[in-house]
Amino acid sequence: MRPENQSSVSEFLLLGLPIQPEHQGVFFTLFLGMYLTTVLGNLLIILLIRLDSHLHTPMYFFLSHLAFSDISLSSVTVPKMLMNMQTQQISIPYVGCISQLYFFILFGSLDNFLLAVMAYDRYVAICHPLQYTTIMREGLCMLLVAASWIIACDHALLHTLLLARLSFCANNIITHFFCDLTVLLKLSCSDISLNEMVIFTEGGMLYFPPLAIVLGSYICIGTIILKAPSTKRLLKAFSTCGSHLLVVSLYYGTLAVVYFLSSSWDSKNIIASVMYTVVTPMLNPFIYSLRNRDIKQALEMFVNRVNLLKWKSLNPLIAVRSTVRHMS
């Protein structure tokens, strides 16, 4: 396309979810409740892990970072979607769109790496239990989390910079509820062959190894269990890995639907994106709290502490009131 037929895009228009106008209020309330549940649930997980010394283990250290990543991933997309639904102002500035894209890629990638690290942790716990404390020492855990953050930041920055160099046509309508990389590339008037090559090469190098680590870890775990199957051993493995395996299934399942099994951005793809960005981060705290005995015990202790503090704060007031009554 010739330069005179191009225009400098200063903003994009997010069409949002395919919802009828008369149903906007219902879905706004629904997604607001889901977002608040995501934030409060994951913050509670982080708080319990910080307060309870019994949860100061590698698995819960990784889980706290996953909870923070889930909060951030939802916060990148959902508040803007809710604001658009409420105000009907569907525009987003160019800089805001690029920033949203960067943080979306960052926290989406971070989830991927953290799930792989947690799978390796479960592998060591079940396949090498006697060496667990030696292998999963504090220094290694810090290194794995730091590497996950650094690689995710570099990955997001690379794709954001490659996108920022592109020109965009007069068509600035994004048929989605957030600025996704694949959608933005379709709007560009520039040559996107370099972007596509980097997505398939660098993206493949970063996403498939973590998936291979997850699959390899659970294959090894399954092999160890099947060598000497017993009900006690199966229950222990399920209690140890069940929550993580369910989260992994939700994450990679919705990711596959969005980016690998779809050819165009229709309503089904948007629904899958909602699952990936809204539903999965909301379900993670419930999965880990409902299926995890340690989290349940930490939650009970936390509730008891809160009730005790309330009783202590109210007790002096009760004493003062009773004294005043006796004096009167």
Sequence-ordered alpha helix ranges (H) in the chain: 24-51, 58-87, 94-127, 132-135, 138-164, 181-187, 193-227, 231-259, 267-274, 280-290, 293-327
pLDDT in tens, 251-288: 777 777 666 655 555 566 677 778 888 888 888 888 87
pLDDT in tens for each of the 328 residues of the chain?
444 344 467 889 888 888 887 888 898 999 999 999 999 999 999 998 888 888 888 989 999 999 999 999 999 999 999 998 888 788 899 999 999 999 999 999 999 999 999 999 989 988 888 899 999 999 999 999 999 999 999 999 999 999 999 988 777 888 888 998 888 998 888 889 999 999 888 877 888 889 899 999 888 888 887 776 666 666 666 666 777 777 888 777 777 766 665 555 556 667 777 888 888 888 888 887 766 777 777 777 877 777 777 777 766 655 545 554 555 5
Q: 3-state secondary structure string, 5-67?
A: HCCCCCEEEECCCCCCHHHHHHHHHHHHHHHHHHHHHHHHHHHHHHHCHHHCCHHHHHHHHHH
Does 1.20.1070.10 match the CATH number of domain 11-291? Answer: yes
Domain layout of the chain by residue ranges: 11-291
Instruction: Read off φ and ψ for residue 188, nearest 5 degrees.
Output: -75, 145
* Among 304, 245, 247, 243, residue whose Cα is nearest residue 48: 304
pLDDT digits (tens, 9 = 90+) for 51-73: 888 888 898 999 999 999 999 99
